[in-house]
Amino acid sequence: MQIARFLVATPGDAELRERMAEKARELERDIDRLTRMRDSLWRASTCTRTPLVECPEFKTRIESGPIT
């Protein structure tokens, strides 16, 4: 439904265009979050420390704040 409205947006449809821009910002945040999660998982998967939380790169990621 939302995509159908986006497809018929006109230059004068400011409200819809703002919602489109907000959706793009939301997707950008999701992509950033998922990229950080992916990178952390790759690092953890190659770490040889026991336990994994002792892996220096993994610890740095955890200490830098939650992946939200």
Distance in angstroms (rounded) separating the CA atoms of residues 12 and 42? 46
Distance in angstroms (rounded) separating the CA atoms of residues 17 and 54? 47
pLDDT in tens, 3-45: 787 788 888 889 888 988 999 999 999 999 999 889 888 888 8
Over range 42-51, report the average pLDDT: 85
Q: Report the pLDDT value the prediction gives residue 1, as an integer from 0 to 100.
A: 61
* All residues at 6 or more sequence positions from 1 whose CB lies less than 8 Å from its CB, including other chains: none
Q: Report the pLDDT value the prediction gives residue 67, as an integer from 0 to 100.
A: 58
Q: Report the pLDDT value the prediction gives residue 57, as an integer from 0 to 100.
A: 76
Q: Given pLDDT bands bounded at 50, 70 and 90, which one contains residue 66?
A: low
Q: Any idea where the domains of the chain sit in the sequence?
A: 13-63
Q: Report the pLDDT value the prediction gives residue 40, as an integer from 0 to 100.
A: 82
* All residues at 6 or more sequence positions from 67 whose CB lies less than 8 Å from its CB, including other chains: 33, 36, 37, 40, 61
